[in-house]
C-alpha cells in the first residue's frame, strides 16, 4: 500500500456543485495532515491544515478519521477558480518530511 493515496480524478463538476475528495494514508503514527492546492505549472500552496475534530474555512471543510486512516476535503458551492489539483499531505512520524499524495484534479465548469 502506498503511503498516501488519492483518487487522481479528474472530477468534472458544474459551478455551485459540492465535491468531496478522500485520501488514505498507511502509517498510523502519522502526525499531521494538510491539504495543498496546486495550479497548473505553479508551486503547491497550503489550502488548510486538517485537525482531529474537523475544521472549516469558508466553503472548505476538512476531516480526519484516524481509525480508518483517511482524510477528506469537501468543497461546497464550487467556483471556476477552484479548478486545480488538490494534494493530500501527511507528515511522517519523525516529523522530518511531508509525504505527498499524487493529487486529485478538479475541473469546475460554467
Partner 1 sequence: IAGITQAPTSQILAAGRRMTLRCTQDMRHNAMYWYRQDLGLGLRLIHYSNTAGTTGKGEVPDGYSVSRANTDDFPLTLASAVPSQTSVYFCASSAAGGRQFFGPGTRLTVL
Q: Interface residues with partner 1 (CB under 8 A)?
A: 31-32, 34, 41-46, 49, 87, 91, 95-103
Q: For cell 486529485, what's the residue?
A: 104
Residue pair 107/13 in contact (Cβ under 8 Å)? The answer is yes
Give me the least distance between CB of 30 and partner 1, in Å please.
12
Q: Which of 58, 95 has the CB closer to partner 1?
A: 95
Residue 24 or 101: the one with the smaller Cβ distance to partner 1 is: 101
- CB distance 70 to 23 below 8 Å: yes
In the complex, minimum distance from the CB of residue 16 to partner 1, in angstroms, rounded to a whole number: 30
Residue 38 CB contacts under 8 Å (≥ 6 apart), including other chains: 44, 45, 84, 85, 86, 87, 103
In angstroms, what is the minimal distance from the CB of 4 to partner 1? Answer: 9
Amino acid at each position: 500500500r502506498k503511503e498516501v493515496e488519492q483518487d487522481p480524478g479528474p472530477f468534472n463538476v458544474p459551478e455551485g456543485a459540492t465535491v468531496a475528495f478522500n485520501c488514505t494514508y498507511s502509517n498510523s503514527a502519522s502526525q499531521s495532515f494538510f491539504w495543498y492546492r496546486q495550479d497548473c505549472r505553479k508551486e503547491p500552496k497550503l489550502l488548510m491544515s486538517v485537525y482531529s475534530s474537523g475544521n472549516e474555512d469558508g466553503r472548505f471543510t476538512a476531516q480526519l478519521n484516524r481509525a480508518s486512516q483517511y482524510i477528506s476535503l469537501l468543497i461546497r458551492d464550487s467556483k471556476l477558480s477552484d479548478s486545480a489539483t488538490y494534494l493530500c499531505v501527511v507528515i511522517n512520524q519523525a516529523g522530518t518530511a511531508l509525504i505527498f499524495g499524487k493529487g486529485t484534479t478538479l475541473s469546475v465548469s460554467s
